[in-house]
Amino acid sequence: MSNLSIRGIDPELATTLKQQAQASGKSVNQLVLEVLKEHVGLHKKKQFTQEYHDLDFLFGQWTESEFQQIQGKIDQESQIDDELWQ
pLDDT in tens, 18-55: 999 999 999 999 999 999 998 998 877 777 778 888 88
DSSP 60: T
The domain in which residue 17 lies consists of 11-40
Distance of CA 46 to the CA centre of its chain: 11
- Residue 28, domain member (yes or no): yes
Q: Which residues contact 21 (CB under 8 A, 6 or more apart)?
A: 27, 28, 30, 31
What pLDDT was estimated at residue 22?
Answer: 96
Task: Work out how many domains the chain is built from and give that number.
Answer: 1
- Residue 15, domain member (yes or no): yes
- Residue 26, domain member (yes or no): yes
Mean pLDDT of 62-74: 91
**pTM greater than 0.85 (yes/no):** no
Contact 17, 28 (CB under 8 A): yes
